[in-house]
Amino acid sequence: MERNVALDFIRGVAILGILLLNITAFGLPKAAYLNPAWDGSASLSDAWSWALLDLFAQVKFLSLFALLFGAGLQMLLPRGKRWIQSRLTLLVLLGFMHGLLFWDGDILLAYGLVGLISWRMVRDAQSVKTLFNIGLVLYLIGIAVLLLLGAISGNAPNRSWLPGLADVQYESWWKTTGGLVEAIGNRADLLSSSLLALGAQYGWQLAGLMLLGAALMRSGWLKGQFSQRHYRRTGVLLVLMGMAVNVPAIVTQWQLGWAYRWCAFLLQAPRELSAPVQVLGYVALILGFWQHLSKWKIVAAVACVGRMALSNYLLQTLICTTLFYRFGLFNHFDRLQLVAFVPAVWAINILFSLFWLRRFRQGPVEWLWRQLTARASGSAFPRTSR
């Protein structure tokens, strides 16, 4: 089957875009991810960096990756039950090892677990409309749970939002010099909290996005089968709609000084609501201008990153954990300074992908994943070479 280069490019954009937010999680205490005033106040550069990333990137690229994951589930249906379940189970195991041994910000475990549930709903949906509506309802349930959590939360911030000096020092210690046993113990605790959040709230949204992505793939929309005029008009409209919902929440959080009660829950909802809309606008604009974009060499290079999405995601972890945990750069830079690291990591992702795909047909982790899936499912080995 011929590859869809536009989808590879969009997947590459998602993987590279995720790093814009993850770089903060690598380089600063965990509380800094959503709260620019995590240490009591936010500098002007921190506040503006947070605001711009919140408007254009926060949740957007994770939502895009989830939509594409759902589209992939739709494409995998002909492989059958055993192949899909084996593939997703292996992703769960990989995510567990990644989250426990390397980095507490892993998303693979969540995608694998939710995917094991979602693929059945994708398979059993009788029509695109049904699949889309179920996905929309699941996503809105997740946002409703977020609002409920905000309504019942107290006013006193917890250390995940506003850590004390001792908390920050301890986090810096176990991430940089505390040793493997201490690091694994703390990552295990964080992994437990993430799984609890997945079951209570985020899992609804993630499943909804996967079903929406599957519906858009089944309809042909993600394959670029509509007119360029449709994609261009739709793209502009969706991006403007998403920003219109998110901007008031950004301004309000800034005015409130990122107060825990409002900003940790209630004012996260507008961003969560707008993210799928805005990111589908990004996709529509890419598809609408694809005839022009496909001529650019950088677009072909980013498409190579998308072909090796899993390998590149793990490579970002290896690079950033080495920089910030092994070389002692953790908590030494502010939000804006951390963003300056991103282009260098992008360049490594791109160069690695170009180099590897000149010699092999798949990324190294993708190849291993495929081979193990074939063994676990009892299927014949695929005829594609490395």
Asked whether residue 361 is assigned to any structural domain, the reply reads yes
**Which pLDDT belongs to residue 2?**
66
Per residue in 196-251, pLDDT (tens digit) is 999 999 999 999 999 999 999 999 999 999 999 999 999 999 999 999 999 999 99
Mean pLDDT in residue range 114-143: 97
**Which pLDDT belongs to residue 157?**
75
**Which pLDDT belongs to residue 92?**
98
Per residue in 340-357, pLDDT (tens digit) is 999 999 999 999 999 999
**Which pLDDT belongs to residue 385?**
46
Asked if residue 333 has pLDDT above 70, the reply is yes
Asked whether residue 385 is assigned to any structural domain, the reply reads no
**Which pLDDT belongs to residue 96?**
97
Mean pLDDT in residue range 178-203: 94
Asked if residue 378 has pLDDT above 60, the reply is yes
Asked if residue 252 has pLDDT above 50, the reply is yes
**Which pLDDT belongs to residue 37?**
94
Asked whether residue 350 is assigned to any structural domain, the reply reads yes
Contact 336, 46 (CB under 8 A): yes
Asked whether residue 98 is assigned to any structural domain, the reply reads yes
Asked whether residue 383 is assigned to any structural domain, the reply reads no
Asked if residue 381 has pLDDT above 80, the reply is no
**Which pLDDT belongs to residue 380?**
59
Number of compact structural domains in the chain: 1
**Which pLDDT belongs to residue 274?**
96
pLDDT class of 379 with cuts at 50, 70, 90: confident
Asked whether residue 384 is assigned to any structural domain, the reply reads no
Asked whether residue 60 is assigned to any structural domain, the reply reads yes
Per residue in 79-105, pLDDT (tens digit) is 999 999 999 999 999 999 999 999 999
Mean pLDDT in residue range 126-134: 96
Per residue in 16-74, pLDDT (tens digit) is 999 999 999 999 999 999 999 999 889 999 999 999 999 999 999 999 999 999 999 99
Mean pLDDT in residue range 279-283: 98
pLDDT class of 1 with cuts at 50, 70, 90: low
Asked whether residue 316 is assigned to any structural domain, the reply reads yes
Contact 154, 309 (CB under 8 A): no
| Alpha-carbon torsion, ordered 289, 292, 294, 295, to 10 deg | -170
**Which pLDDT belongs to residue 138?**
98
Asked if residue 7 has pLDDT above 50, the reply is yes
Asked if residue 159 has pLDDT above 50, the reply is yes
Instruction: Among 1-15, 17-31, 205-219, 359-373, name the one with the lowest average pLDDT.
Output: 1-15
Range of the domain at 302: 5-377
